[in-house]
Structure 1
Amino acid sequence: MNSLIPLIGMTLGQLQQVAAECGMPRFAAKQMCRWLYEKRATDISQMTDLSKPAREKLAKRYTIGLEAPLSQAVSTDGTIKYLFRGCGGRAVEAVYIPDGERATLCVSSQAGCRMGCTFCMTGRYGYQGDLTTHQIMNQVLAIPQSLSLTNIVFMGMGEPLDNLDAVMQAIEILTAPWGLAWSPKRITVSSIGKMPQLQTLLSQTKVHIAISLHSPLTSQRAEIMPVERAFPIKKVLETLRQYDFSHQRRLSVEYIMWKDVNDSPRFAQSLARLLDG
């Protein structure tokens, strides 16, 4: 017997296909969207504006798909690390970060990572696989604080642009009027600068962008971030300058400082020159 297919993570277009398959009218897809992303149903039987025969037929092949965290760890500052089922035998983390009136969730997009950054624990695990849109959205919808979230950052396990299709679909669900209807300004995607996927993200969404830089020196960045050899940070920044970051869209740079590695005035001056263009 085949396992049930989760509905969470599906777009309006995909749910229209589900409706057609189950003999429901096309508008039933919007009704399912409302139950999944607005009313947060946990069982198909709760979708009471669908006919009972339609619900029964839907439940034979599909499920809502909410999966509770496997475990959680609470920090003294209120930060909560949730562990979710991943893929390839490896679990993934989502981190809830309260800060005054803000409540941010840091979500994962892959189990492990193949970018090979030497300072990153996720990279040391090796790449186990891409998360599905269902698994990404489940991190958002399955935590107790889901309804109070104000921001989402794709800065958890994995390189988001290495799993672009699933991340783009998650962004669509987060921002579409039939989905969570969030402003894209509530979402930030962090990347090492993987091209041309970065250009796709920039052109097709209005989310904030954060670029992991960590060293302004080509040789050193290539040592700690092998991606520098394929996508030099100078070329990445040249590309970013071609896009409009006015109208509240934000571009930020991530820079970890290590003592006696990249924290001297020389690095500060090189970083300033690099960012100034």
Structure 2
Amino acid sequence: MTEKETLYGKNPEELAALCAELGLPRFAARQIARWLYVRGTEDPMRMTDLAATARERLAARFAPALSAPERVSVSADGTKKYLFRTRRGHYVESAYIPDGERATLCVSSQAGCRMGCRFCATGRQGLQESLPAAEILNQIVSLPERDRLTNLVFMGMGEPLDNPDQLLRTLSVITSEWGFGWSPTRVTVSTAGVVPQLRRFLDATKVHLAVSLHNPFREERMEIMPVERAWPIAEVTAILRGYDFTHQRRVSFEYIVLEGLNDSPRHIRGLSRLLDGIKCRINLIRFHRIPGSPYFSPDDEAMRRFRDALTARGIQTTIRASRGEDIQAACGLLSTEALGGR
């Protein structure tokens, strides 16, 4: 039996084509978009400014896409990890991180991940599915704290640029006036460096970019990030030099510090050479232990020395605070492998 498509996640052009099919005036597409993304309902029977027959046809054709989280885990630091079930029976996690007046949601774009980064629990479970836009958006709109959100980071499960069509569709809903109407400056997308999709992403959006770097040297990066074999970080930085990051859009580089592996003066020099000519920031991240991992995080003093050495070379560098580690919600810990690979 064919699975019904969903109305949620469609853009105005698709809604206009749908309206033409149903014999509705073209302006009805904007009305439907307003119901979906501004008024927050996907139930056609509640779209009272549409003709009753059109509402009935829409209700018969489209399945609901939105669903509440199935479980929440609460950290001692206030972070909350939500578990969502997809329509195909897989699971994804997202992390809500409150911090004073700022409240960030770490969004997942895939169930699992095929990048295979050695320091990441999500990478260990492999890829189960890439999420459609409706199920990416569901993590936002079905969040109990939705109205408190100030920022979105696509740093949850999955590689966003490995799901490019649905990522761009999602970002369009979030940042367009017909959608959520968010400023692109409130959104950051992370990537391990999927070169074939990077230019497309940069040209199509104005949201911030975060690149998972973790080692400036090709052979060493390949040992912990297999993506380096296909798409070297040097190619990523070469592309980035062709874009302007001096105004509203920012690029940052994520760097999980692994004791004795990527934290030497040689790595500081390598980072300085690799990032030369790119206006950017480096976010240093403590390694969060996953079972059976051979890696360790340096102590706080060593992290500060590494930060200060990079800052002295003119690279703005910060140490990201770890949040939600006690509920397995911190960087690199999201995983639904225990749910039977789903």
The equivalent residue for 2:123 is: 123
Aligned amino acid, residue 222 of structure 2: A
> Once the 2 structures are TM-superposed, how far is the Cα of residue 21 of structure 1 from its aligned partner?
2.7
Q: Report the equivalent of 1:92.
A: 92
Structure 2 counterparts to residues 100-249 of structure 1, below 5 A: 100-249=100-249
Q: Which amino acid aligns with 1:7?
A: L
2-structure distance, mates of 1:147, 1:2: 35
Partners of 2:112 and 2:158 within 8 A in 1? yes
Task: Tell me the alpha carbon deviations over residues 65-122 of structure 1, each in whole angstroms, 9 at most, x when there is no partner.
Answer: 2211121111122211111123764301111111111111111111111111111111
CA contact (8 A) 1:43 1:64 kept: yes
- Are the equivalent residues in 2 in contact too, given 1:104–1:153 (CA < 8 A)? yes
Equivalent pairs, count: 277
State the distance in 2 between where 1:251 and 1:213 align: 12
Higher RCO, Cα 8 Å, sep 6+? 2
CA distance in structure 1 between the partners assigned to 2:143 and 2:21 by the alignment? 31
Corresponding position of 1:43: 43
Q: Deviations over 1:117-159 (max 9, x none)?
A: 1111111101112111111111111111222211111111111
Moved more, 25-34 or 38-47: 38-47
Q: Which amino acid is the alignment partner of residue 248 of structure 1?
A: Q
Deviation at 1:168, TM superposition (A): 0.4
Q: In structure 2, the residue corresponding to 1:161 is in which secondary structure?
A: helix
Q: Which TM-score applies when normalising by structure 2?
A: 0.77
Distance 1:88 1:118, change over 3 A: farther
Contact 1:84–1:139, Cα closer than 8 Å, also in 2: yes
Secondary structure of 1:190's aligned partner: strand
Residues 90, 56 of structure 1: alpha-carbon distance in 2 compared, 3 angstrom cutoff: closer
Cα separation, 2, equivalents of 1:205 and 1:182: 13
Deviates more, 1:57-66 or 1:201-210: 57-66
Contact 1:6–1:64 (8 Å) recurs in 2: yes
Preserved CA contact (<8 Å) 1:109 1:159: yes
Offset of residue 33 of structure 1: 0.8
Shift of 1:64: 4.5
**Contact 1:87 / 1:111 at 8 angstroms: preserved in 2?**
no
Q: Aligned residue for 1:269?
A: 269
- Structure 1 runs of 4+ aligned residues shifted over 6 Å read none
Q: Which residue of 1 aligns with 2:334?
A: none
- Report the equivalent of 1:23: 23
Superposition RMSD in Å: 1.6
Structure 2 counterpart SS, 1:73: strand
How many Å separate the matches in 2 of 1:85 and 1:54? 30
* Structure 1 portions without partners, runs of 5+: none
Give the deviation of 1:184 after TM superposition: 1.0
Deviations 1:157-213 (A, max 9, x none): 111001000000001111111111111111111001111201101111111010000
Whole-angstrom distance in 2 between the partners of 1:144 and 1:98 = 13
Alignment CA distance shift 1:3-1:196 (3 Å)? closer
SS at match of 1:243: coil
Unaligned runs of 5+ in 2: 278-342
Alpha-carbon distance in structure 1 between the residues aligned to 2:88 and 2:69? 17
Map Cα deviations across residues 6-52 of structure 1 (whole Å, 9 max, x no partner).
Answer: 22111111112222233322111111111111111253222111122
| Whole-angstrom CA distance in 1 between matches of 2:146 and 2:252 | 26
Whole-angstrom CA distance in 2 between matches of 1:87 and 1:24: 29
The answer to whether 1:258 aligns with 2:258 is yes
Distance (whole Å) between structure 1 residues aligned to residue 242 and residue 3 of structure 2 = 46
Q: Matches of 1:107 and 1:228 in 2, distance apart? A: 24
